[in-house]
């Protein structure tokens, strides 16, 4: 017997052990790097939020900040017209995007034949979702402001944001509809329901939660959008409220507010931010906290609902 | 059916408006000047219309953003998909989605009043408006997007491929780098491309923190305007409808739209290719 091979094996064994050790170390190192990278995103949000609160808190705590109009003096400037403006614009956005988006999704999922035409619509929707928001602003400037002559009004802003979130609503609704098992539809057809009855009584009802999640996420995005609203030329000093939508006299509803000038939360923040004076930056920070809180609450609610639904629904 | 057509209508309207107003612009400005002139001063007395300075500003900021977002986003995705426990993943994914929902104007505040002063301590000569700080912030903004799209691509790699690799004695790190990442590469590349497209179209951060002077440079330490920042700047002023300045923002918008559309199409095609593979 030659002792040479055995020595070699032993040496190899040591090398193999060293290699395994090295590779395990690599594993360990990488998992730490990975965790760190993951933290960058999360810590940034945290830093941002804390920084905003720290620089904005004198304003955040004063009640007059929420009940005052914008002003030339930083300490008496408030958010009132932006809060009202944002709510009214969201109202228009909701009523333009949601019915349209839900109907489009139902058509695409339940009615559309599979041909080049539905493919075309599909490609369109996915492309629209990726168009930069400022392009929607240009569309609105050309189409709504000048060609249709709506002016720089709440109506223009609401419709613009409505178009912007249309793809979000369509995609979310389609996903919700697609998750309903085909058996539910077949059961309804088996007892003689028409297509519309199936859609109305089953498809819409079972996908309601999913649709709602999509709508909330879309609205949260619309509230924070700044670029398209600036592009339609709405960056002005607004120290008045639009006419109230509800009146005491019949017919109790008043649509004058649609054509009124307005400002919204992110625009107000932008105009404070673009002033050189430090005092206005405090206002900008406080407005930032308000915007983040609103969008985080809406998104958080929607995401929570989605995860809950995923767990609860068992067909 | 009519509702579904609204999507087609929006696309047609966008393209139509951009082309219509740009047509008016190109009646005054030769296409050759637009593409080759190196000065962009449409609002001055002797206007010159060269889109290059705006494009260089856009590309520089996008470049800085990618240098931040690609490494961090990819490593986070690999970690989430291959290393993290189920519990960590279920906690982090919703937070990433939340991060994607933070309005960009808030990130603009962050760039101007937090990152820029911080950078000025490191590089004392840095001007208040520069491309480095918005670039970094845009990068941070697209990390969640790149991470979650790449993670989806990696999760789609069949388990049997990982098990095959483990059976050969490979460690997690080796499996992640040599098996899962190559298998998911087209999905990961698609995530990068869609991320680039987002960075190019990003408006508020750049408009707030990068300055408004068109400047033909690729040096991130200088201030420069991007296509989006220019559109915002003009829209904030009161330009009469139909003037050449008004038309110039549509021409700039058309360039932006073409850039992002090309990237999006490439991104979707890459993604489709990958989803057919298994």
* B212: pLDDT strictly greater than 80: no
Segment A151-168 mean pLDDT: 81
B50-275 topology per CATH: MetI-like fold (1.10.3720)
Question: At B113, is the pLDDT very low, low, confident or very high (cuts 50, 70, 90)?
Answer: confident
Name residues 29-88 of chain B within 8 A of A (Cβ). Answer: 71-72, 75-76, 78-80, 83-84
User: How far apart (Å, rounded) are the C-alpha atoms in residues A6 and B232?
Assistant: 77
* B43: pLDDT strictly greater than 70: no
Question: At A249, is the pLDDT very low, low, confident or very high (cuts 50, 70, 90)?
Answer: low
Question: At A72, is the pLDDT very low, low, confident or very high (cuts 50, 70, 90)?
Answer: low
Q: For residue range A8-20, what is the model confidence (pLDDT) as tens digits?
A: 676 788 888 888 8
* A68: pLDDT strictly greater than 70: no
Tell me which of A55-59, A140-144, A251-255, B189-193 is least confident. A251-255
User: How far apart (Å, rounded) are the C-alpha atoms in residues A288 and A53?
Assistant: 9
Backbone φ, ψ for residue B266 (5° rounding): -60, -45
- Residue B278: the pLDDT is 52
Q: For residue range B141-157, what is the model confidence (pLDDT) as tens digits?
A: 888 888 888 888 888 88
Model-level ipTM above the cut of 0.85: no
User: How far apart (Å, rounded) are the C-alpha atoms in residues B228 and B138?
Assistant: 13
CB A180 within 8 A of CB A202: yes
Report H helices in B101-183.
Answer: 104-110, 116-122, 132-155, 159-167, 172-174, 181-183
3-state secondary structure string across A239-258: CCCCCCCECCCCCCECCHHH
Tell me which of A92-96, A165-169, B268-272 is least confident. B268-272
* A251: pLDDT strictly greater than 60: no
Residue B226 token pair: 């991007």
Q: Where are the domains of chain B?
A: 50-275
Segment B220-224 mean pLDDT: 69
- Residue A162: the pLDDT is 86
Contact A227 B11 (CB under 8 A): no
* A160: pLDDT strictly greater than 80: yes
* Contacts A40 to B, Cβ<8 Å: 72, 76, 140, 143
User: How far apart (Å, rounded) are the C-alpha atoms in residues A56 and B105?
Assistant: 15
Nearest alpha carbon to residue A176 among A218, A205, A200: A205
Report the gap between the CA of A315 and the closest CA in chain B (Å).
23
Segment A75-91 mean pLDDT: 75
Question: At A75, is the pLDDT very low, low, confident or very high (cuts 50, 70, 90)?
Answer: low
Residue identified by tokens 């005054």 is B28
Q: For residue range A178-234, what is the model confidence (pLDDT) as tens digits?
A: 888 888 888 888 888 888 888 888 888 888 888 888 888 888 888 888 778 887 766
How far are the Cα atoms of A37, A171, A274, B27, B242 from residue B30, in angstroms, in the given order?
48, 41, 35, 7, 18
- Residue A153: the pLDDT is 73
Contact A227 B203 (CB under 8 A): yes
Contact B7 A273 (CB under 8 A): no
Tell me which of A170-184, B183-197, B204-218 is least confident. B204-218
CB B22 within 8 A of CB B231: no
User: How far apart (Å, rounded) are the C-alpha atoms in residues A268 and A266?
Assistant: 5
CB A265 within 8 A of CB A287: yes
- Residue A64: the pLDDT is 64
* B274: pLDDT strictly greater than 70: no
Report H helices in B37-126.
Answer: 52-78, 86-100, 104-110, 116-122
Q: Which of B72, B96, B98 sits opposite A37 (nearest CB)?
A: B72
Decide if A239 touches B, using CB distance below 8 A.
no
Question: At B103, is the pLDDT very low, low, confident or very high (cuts 50, 70, 90)?
Answer: confident
């Amino acid at each position: 017997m030659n002792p040479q091979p055995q020595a070699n094996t032993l040496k190899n064994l040591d090398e193999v052990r060293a290699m395994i050790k090295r590779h395990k170390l690599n594993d360990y190192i990488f998992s730490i790097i990975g965790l760190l990278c993951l933290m960058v995103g999360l810590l940034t949000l945290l830093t941002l939020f804390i920084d905003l609160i720290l620089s904005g808190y004198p304003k955040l705590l004063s009640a007059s900040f929420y009940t005052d109009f914008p002003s030339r003096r930083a300490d008496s400037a408030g958010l009132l017209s932006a809060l009202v403006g944002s709510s009214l614009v969201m109202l228009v956005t909701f009523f333009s995007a949601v019915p349209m988006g839900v109907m489009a999704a139902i058509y695409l999922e339940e009615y559309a034949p599979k041909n080049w035409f539905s493919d075309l619509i599909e490609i369109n929707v996915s492309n629209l979702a990726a168009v930069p928001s400022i392009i929607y602003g240009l569309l609105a400037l050309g189409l709504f402001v000048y060609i249709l002559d709506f002016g720089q009004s709440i109506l223009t802003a609401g419709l613009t944001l409505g178009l912007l979130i249309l793809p979000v609503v369509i995609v979310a609704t389609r996903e919700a509809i697609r998750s309903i098992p085909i058996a539910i539809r077949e059961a309804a057809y088996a007892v003689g329901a028409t297509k519309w009855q199936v859609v109305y009584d089953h498809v819409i009802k079972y996908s309601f939660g999913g649709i709602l999640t999509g709508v909330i996420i879309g609205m949260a995005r619309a509230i924070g959008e700044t670029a398209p609203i600036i592009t339609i030329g709405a960056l002005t000093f607004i120290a008045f409220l639009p006419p109230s939508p509800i009146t005491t006299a019949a017919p109790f509803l008043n649509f004058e507010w649609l054509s009124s000038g307005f400002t919204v939360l992110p625009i107000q923040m932008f105009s404070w931010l673009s002033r050189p004076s430090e005092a206005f930056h405090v206002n900008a920070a406080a407005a930032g906290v308000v915007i983040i809180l609103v969008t985080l609450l809406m998104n958080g609610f929607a995401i929570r609902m989605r995860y809950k639904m995923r767990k609860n629904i068992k067909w | 059916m009519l509702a579904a057509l609204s999507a087609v209508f929006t696309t047609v309207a966008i393209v139509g408006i951009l082309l219509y107003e740009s047509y008016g612009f190109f009646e005054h400005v030769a296409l050759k000047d637009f593409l080759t002139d190196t000065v962009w001063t449409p609002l001055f007395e002797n206007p010159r219309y060269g889109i290059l300075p705006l494009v260089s500003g856009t590309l520089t900021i996008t470049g800085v953003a990618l240098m931040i977002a690609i490494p961090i986003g990819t490593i986070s995705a690999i970690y989430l998909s291959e290393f993290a426990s189920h519990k960590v993943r279920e906690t982090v994914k919703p937070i990433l989605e939340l991060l994607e929902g933070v309005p960009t104007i808030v990130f603009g505040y962050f760039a101007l009043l937090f990152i820029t002063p911080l950078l000025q301590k490191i590089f004392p000569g840095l001007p208040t408006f520069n491309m480095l700080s918005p670039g970094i912030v845009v990068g941070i903004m697209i990390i969640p997007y790149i991470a979650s799209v790449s993670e989806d691509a990696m999760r789609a790699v069949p388990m049997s491929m990982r098990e095959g690799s483990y059976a050969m004695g490979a460690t997690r790190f080796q499996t992640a780098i040599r098996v899962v990442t190559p298998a998911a590469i087209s999905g990961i590349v698609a995530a990068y491309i869609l991320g680039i497209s987002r960075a190019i179209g990003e408006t508020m951060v750049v408009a707030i923190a990068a300055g408004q002077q068109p400047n033909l440079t690729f040096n991130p330490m200088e201030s420069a305007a991007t296509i989006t920042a220019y559109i915002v700047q003009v829209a904030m002023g009161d330009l009469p409808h139909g003037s050449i300045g008004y038309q110039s923002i549509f021409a700039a918008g058309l360039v932006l739209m073409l850039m992002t559309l090309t990237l999006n199409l490439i991104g979707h095609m890459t993604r489709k290719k990958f989803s057919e593979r298994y």
